[in-house]
A = this chain, B = another copy of it.
Amino acid sequence: MACAARFGGPVVMKIVSPDILHKTDAGGVVVGVEGAADVRETFHRIVANARAYAPTARVDGVQVQELLPSGPGAQEVIVGAVTDPTFGKVVAFGLGGVLVEVLKDVTFRLAPVDADEARSMLDSIRAAEVLRGVRGTPGVDRWALAEQIRRVSELVTDFPEIAEVDLNPVVATPEGALAADIRVILAAEAPKERRRYTRAQMLASMRRLMRPRSVAVIGASNEPGKIGNSVMRNLIDGGFPGEIHPVNPKADDILGRKAYKSVTDVPGEVDVAVFAIPAKFVASALEEVGHKGVPNAVLIPSGFAETGEQALQDEIVAIGERHGVRLLGPNIYGYYSTWQDLCATFCTPYDVRGGVALTSQSGGIGMAILGFARATKTGVSAIVGLGNKADLDEDDLLTWFGEDPHTQCIAMHLEDLKDGRAFVEAARATVPKKPVVVLKAGRTAAGAKAAGSHTGALAGDDAVYDDILRQAGVIRAPGLNEMLEYARALPVLPTPQGDNVVIITGAGGSGVLLSDAVTDNGLRLMDIPPDLDAAFRAFIPPFGAAGNPVDITGGEPPSTYEATIRLGLEDPRIHALVLGYWHTIVTPPMVFAELTARVIAEFRERGIDKPVVASLAGDVEVEEACQYLFERGVVAYPYTTEKPVDVLGAKYRWARAAGLLGGGR
């Protein structure tokens, strides 16, 4: 009675019983009870209903709750948290109701979140507009809602034993936000702690891995076709200037170099031991590597966890930990460190030095990386196979490449993360300095997990990955080819200084498709001010179209391309250029490529360096023109209007995540 009176209005009454889960089915919920007599009568009715529904159920009482507001401006939402196997505590937010359940319009963040992060969640759902108020209804109290999200994220952080929480529904109104129902599920067991290395430890071993002075090859061989032979030859043919020591108990010299019976016999310090021996011999050789004090073991052999030999893998991990040897692999092709002319793989050397570090969990994808790089002359700082990730994984590599001055972009293929939080930490430290591209494979296979809470059911593997990678500022590549293209192009493009994108095109048809691509990528076609419009018009035929795209029309000579590109670079209000070239006899592909490269180089000399991408429509000569442009800092593609703009879009996404542009995440 007193409870009901306290709310000073109609109340909701609910049965409280540990044995009745579905209260409504049991006749245990009555809405809109008002007045002492009514409350009393309802109490008895609810208890009677419950007894009838489940005669043996324990009844602890009847709960009296404030009747939540409804009508215009009241919006049901869901706030929750789950324990993700990769990321740990994750907080979720979405609109309530049947539509969202069907459309799965939910967003996730690593818990805990601060107030800004919580507010960003309100804008991250597709139906965000609803919360701001539509069709004349007022918006909800965003601060109150964000505060509720923040508190739930703190709750699960402070009490790790809470596996899942649902506040469902929360009724948000212009005046506040109230949870109508709460469900808490406790964890059956605490997750086990993973061994973590400090940043300094990671960097110390990674530096010796990526810039070694001395490499030993365990299982080096003179016999062509053997992996131990390929690795030796590739180290030598690649031109590695440091020491290369073959280790083989049965040979005196290998490829003209003195061979040692054991790595312990090798004189001086060894930075890396590359293993090219069968799985069953790895453990004992690793013991010797440990005794020698080698900090890195590169484990090419397969035959560990990937073939079911988990125990063998656990054994080598234990040996590594005991001796402080970090393990790369096992089950990998090896790794390249191009600025050191280091090719510690059974594939052939790669020598185009450049700004991207690529890693892959799968050997097949590693081979695709190598082939693509060679075909496109992609400038690479490193290619690293991660394989089973028994020890070293993406966070170690990210930490290193974040510091490596040769690396301007990091692109990673991964199927899972051993420790999502460590990865996010490394990504957050790296993204302000350079772009991190991730191809997360297996995104559609997993589906939603079986879960006790509503939030849990919505937390499909990929939904969580997608939101949290974005939260960490990572650029997610939709597919393998996009990852490779971003890897090739992002280090080439300068960072945009603002949002104004201008399309200059010789082909009206390309202009339309380029505009589509600009919109698809969330970029902004600059609204050209009248003076700039007039300036463009001065160079183009009267029937050409200024505005944006600037359509210079098809029959124009090189001078028209040049004048308009110059104007685009010169005017400080323009931040990025998208060029559409149309192959004609008047301006052949290489003429266009040369003039564009020349103008851009000239402006760079003057300190003006804007991202310029180009789509070349024409006969096969455009392929050579694209390669020429790419090598001179213009990201250019033939036969596609989408790719150049996709790449520009990726650069913009990174620039925003890095805080180099307005707009934030």
- Which residues of A pack against B, CB within 8 Å? 95, 97-103, 105, 126-127, 129-130, 134-135, 137, 225, 302, 306-308, 347-348, 360-365, 367-368, 370-372, 374-375, 413, 415, 439, 441-445, 478-481, 484, 505-510, 512-513, 515-517, 519-520, 541-543, 554-555, 580, 582-583, 585, 617-623, 638-643
Contact = CB atoms under 8 A, between A and B. Distances in A.
A643 B481 CA distance: 9
A360 B617 CA distance: 13
A41 to B, nearest CB: 24
Q: Which of A100, A307, A439, A618 lies at the interface centre, i.e. has the most chain B CB atoms within 10 A of its CB?
A: A618
A372 B127 contact: no
Contacts of A508: 306, 362, 364
Contacts of A507: 362-365, 367
Q: Which of A102, A484, A505 lies at the interface centre, i.e. has the most chain B CB atoms within 10 A of its CB?
A: A102
A641 B127 contact: no
A557 to B, nearest CB: 13
Contacts of A135: 98, 101
B367 A582 contact: yes
A442 B512 contact: yes
A99 B99 contact: yes
Given A363-B554, A413-B509, A442-B512, 20 more contacts: A97-B99, A99-B130, A102-B126, A225-B585, A302-B555, A306-B543, A364-B505, A364-B506, A364-B617, A365-B513, A371-B618, A371-B621, A371-B638, A372-B638, A415-B509, A444-B515, A444-B519, A479-B641, A480-B641, A484-B639
Nearest to A371: B619
A457 to B, nearest CB: 12
A52 to B, nearest CB: 21
Contact of A445 (B134, B506, B516, B618): B516
A525 to B, nearest CB: 9
A97 B72 CA distance: 12
16 contacts: A99-B100, A101-B134, A102-B126, A307-B543, A360-B509, A361-B509, A363-B554, A364-B508, A367-B583, A367-B617, A368-B617, A371-B619, A375-B623, A445-B512, A479-B513, A480-B640
Contacts of A105: 103
A505 B368 CA distance: 14
The 9 closest A-B pairs by CB, nearest first: A362-B509, A364-B507, A307-B543, A444-B519, A368-B617, A481-B640, A479-B642, A364-B582, A372-B639
Contacts of A513: 365, 439, 441, 479-480
A256 B625 CA distance: 36
B617 A371 contact: yes
B364 A441 contact: no
Contacts of A444: 515-516, 519-520
B543 A308 contact: yes
A375 B620 contact: yes
Contacts of A365: 507, 509-510, 513, 617
A421 to B, nearest CB: 23
A617 B137 CA distance: 55
Q: Interface of chain A, helix or strand or loop or mixed?
A: mixed
Contact of A367 (B362, B367, B541, B619): B619
A298 to B, nearest CB: 18
A512 B481 CA distance: 15
Nearest to A512: B441
A503 to B, nearest CB: 12
A26 to B, nearest CB: 15
Given A441-B512, A638-B368, A134 B619 contact: no
Contacts of A642: 478-481
Contact of A639 (B368, B515, B543, B619): B368
A623 B640 CA distance: 19
Nearest to A442: B512
Nearest to A132: B102
Contacts of A360: 509
Nearest to A586: B225
A512 B442 CA distance: 5
A580 B364 contact: yes
Contacts of A585: 225
Nearest to A414: B509
A515 B462 CA distance: 14
Nearest to A370: B619
A375 B481 contact: no
A134 B98 contact: yes
Contacts of A617: 364-365, 367-368, 371
A128 B225 CA distance: 58
Contacts of A102: 126-127, 129-130, 134
Contacts of A643: 481
A131 to B, nearest CB: 10
A93 to B, nearest CB: 16
Nearest to A478: B642
A442 B371 contact: no
A600 B222 CA distance: 40
A169 to B, nearest CB: 13
Contact of A374 (B413, B512, B619): B619
Given A127-B99, A306-B543, A480-B513, A367 B618 contact: yes
A415 B507 CA distance: 13
A136 to B, nearest CB: 10
Nearest to A640: B481
A446 B617 CA distance: 24
A137 B554 CA distance: 60
Contacts of A302: 554-555
A477 to B, nearest CB: 10
A372 B622 CA distance: 10
Contacts of A415: 509, 512
Nearest to A348: B619
Contacts of A621: 371
Q: Which of A360, A445, A623 lies at the interface centre, i.e. has the most chain B CB atoms within 10 A of its CB?
A: A445
Contacts of A639: 368, 371-372, 375, 480-481, 484
